[in-house]
Chains A and B, each alone.
Chain A
Amino acid sequence: MDDRRATPPTALPAAGVRAASIDIYAPQWRNFIFVAPFLFFFTMLLLVPLFWGMWLSFHKADTFSSGNFVGFGNYIRLFHDKVFLQSVWNTFYFVLLTVPTLALIGLFLALCLNRRTRTAAVLRTLFFSSSVLSVTIVTLIWRIVFIPNVGLLSTIYGWFGATAPAFISDPSLAMIGIAIATVWWCIGLPMMLFLSALQQIPQDIYEAAALDNANRWQTLRSITLPSIKRTFVLVVIVQIVLQFQLFGQAWLMTRGGPNNLTKPIVLYIYDTAFRRWDLGMGAAASEVLFILILMAAMAQYLVTRSKAGQA
């Protein structure tokens, strides 16, 4: 214990040397240059068009001039346009058809495929593989299925001497046809989100449930579903945001027909702005869609925030 004597007395800092401690979390202005490139493109490609679109929606504009301020004129014309109202209804109808189906089938697939067998792994890949296809390929495939007389569906119905439902031309079935193609195309993401949620449930609470005499149904209802409740809400909201933007499938499968019954808002915007060159009204329709999607996104924000708050 003699070594303590050997230690020199604590040295005082030499005069002129400031022993300042550094706050490594303090903001440094030079760090700004690292985000500047991103900020530039974010501003130019997202913020400017966003506000330009808003500005346009209050003006009478075509390709050659964006002139007179018309106030809410474009919006008033919009809400008097039966085709627009039809397209809003179509979009809601499409969201209603696809989102619950995607959530429920995605959940069902995830529950079935959440196991460590080779078959499950192959099937997971298979179900996800449709998501990587482009919308052109997807609609091509489903046109081949749906096409009257020679399509896959017609052929199968033909074996039983029946006539296939006309998913592309029948006014009451056309949107359902687009929804079927969309569900087939988009099922991968919900399934993967549900799978990752299911895999995060600790195994031991299933063991505790087994010791608690829970049968399969009780385990599903009382353990599994409550554990993935937030993922379910997340999937629903993400899908609402995505499916509100329906365009490619409707454009490529039915061109919005028959009789505008499958024309979604985005297709209406495209028609108005780039085929009739009524940019002001197209911009106004875009703002309506923007608000609809914004509401869904806000809902997602609130849900994820309350999740963080509870954790």
Chain B
Amino acid sequence: MTADIEIRNVSKHFGAMTVLDDLSLFIKAREFIVFLGPSGCGKSTLLRMIAGLETVDTGEIAINNERIDHLPPGKRGIAMVFQSYALYPHMSVRDNMAFGLENIGMPRDLIDARIKESARILEMEHLLERKPGQLSGGQRQRVAIGRAIVKEPKAFLFDEPLSNLDAALRTRTRIELAQLHQRLQSTMIFVTHDQVEAMTLADRIVVMNNRKIEQIGSPMEIYDRPATKFVAGFVGAPAMNFVEAMLDRSSRNATARFADGIAVQTEIASDQTIDGKYTFGIRSEDVRIVPAGQGNADGVVDVLERLGERTLVYARLGDGQQIVGSDAGNSRVAVGDKVGLAFDGRKSHLFGETGRAWHAREV
């Protein structure tokens, strides 16, 4: 069982504070959607409104074209996995999973069959008689997911479910969640502030900031063609380089000129741009390290981060601006060296004063 979810012009206020401002979003059936954004952007509130744990001030939420925003949480046909797992501490794993089904009067044999099946899927048959206090963090996480699966919901909601796990377990659980989605073919909404989780899990990412949706798109759309400066800066590690720039729009493609005379030829159509101040943006992997004098600009290396497969080079330009470039894993650059920075014009971005983005022509 799966369902599409439509959010229409939803707003939410806590007292005088607006938490969500006129959001609309359509989530297709079987889609894995990730709400990504910094703390306090309203992503968890939106999820809790879908779940029925927060009221909707204005607007509507519908599942399969049926309005659900007036229904109590249990009647919406959705299941949620909490950040803290929210397992019932005095109940065994089996009772935790059975509780929701018992409450709707499901026959015992059907409940048992469902618990057996989801325990098999999650490989936790041996945990069924234990209490949550006797489980590790990863096992509790599994139980929380199992408790959601047995309900066979129309949609799964995940509220930062991986944030309490250690790094190794988080990576593994992430992969398991992706597999689970493949297997169950259910609509899933996942809230996180971790861009790696968002990039790896999502069919589409909804980037939220400051009460609003900044961009909705596939992970690569979000990464390659961020709609706003916020998205460009929030997604990707290290964050995109930003430099204040003036625009030379005399030729077909715009040229960005930095304050100290550095010029970068972009592939952004001049006639698409408008007058005004710009911020030039480029990701570290699109800034190559070359011998001094051979790139668009020269800089002195401040810090090196050796990640193994590549080396991040933090170089300072003449005017003090720091640019992060990327070199080979076995780079011989050392701190204090003078290096050249070669910007890839095809991968450059421009951001207007309102934050709106321009990208290179699509090939």
Contact = CB atoms under 8 A, between A and B. Distances in A.
B106 to A, nearest CB: 10
B89 interface: yes
Interface string B93-104: 000000110011
A218 to B, nearest CB: 6
A229 B91 CA distance: 13
Nearest to B88: A205
Given A202-B86, A204-B82, A226-B90, A210 B99 contact: no
Interface string B62-84: 00000000001111001110101
Nearest to B157: A211
Contact of A214 (B74, B75, B78, B89): B74
A207 B52 CA distance: 9
A211 B51 contact: yes
Interface string B106-149: 00000000000000000000000000010000000000000100
B177 to A, nearest CB: 19
Interface string A37-61: 0000000000000000000000000
Contacts of B147: 208
A209 B53 CA distance: 11
A223 interface: yes
Interface string A223-249: 100110100000000000000000000
B88 A208 contact: yes
A145 B41 CA distance: 59
Contact of A211 (B73, B84, B88, B89): B73
Nearest to B51: A211
Nearest to A215: B103
A207 B144 CA distance: 13
B89 A207 contact: no
Interface string A194-222: 00000000101101111111110010001
A7 interface: no
A68 interface: no
Given A211-B78, A211-B79, A213-B75, A204 B99 contact: no
A310 interface: yes
A214 B103 contact: yes
A204 B52 contact: no
A307 to B, nearest CB: 12
B82 A207 contact: yes
B74 A211 contact: yes
Contacts of A208: 80, 82, 86-88, 147
A245 B150 CA distance: 53
Given A204-B86, A210-B52, A213-B100, A310 B133 contact: yes
A207 B84 CA distance: 12
Contacts of A218: 103
A227 B90 contact: yes
A118 B160 CA distance: 34
A229 B80 CA distance: 27
A207 B86 contact: yes
B90 A211 contact: no
A212 B103 contact: yes
A179 to B, nearest CB: 33
A213 B82 contact: no
Nearest to B90: A226
Contacts of B91: 222, 226
Contacts of A214: 74, 99-100, 103
Contacts of A210: 52-53, 72-74
A263 B182 CA distance: 75
Q: Pick the most buried of A209, A212, A214, A215: most chain B CB atoms within 10 A of its CB.
A: A212
Contacts of B51: 207, 211
Nearest to B148: A211
Contact of B89 (A212, A213, A227): A227
B76 to A, nearest CB: 8
Given A202-B86, A227-B89, 12 more contacts: A205-B86, A207-B73, A208-B82, A208-B87, A208-B147, A209-B99, A210-B73, A211-B51, A212-B74, A212-B99, A213-B103, A310-B133
27 contacts: A202-B84, A202-B86, A204-B82, A204-B86, A207-B51, A207-B82, A208-B82, A208-B88, A210-B72, A210-B73, A210-B74, A211-B51, A211-B52, A211-B53, A211-B74, A211-B78, A211-B100, A212-B74, A212-B99, A212-B103, A214-B100, A214-B103, A218-B103, A222-B88, A227-B89, A227-B90, A310-B133
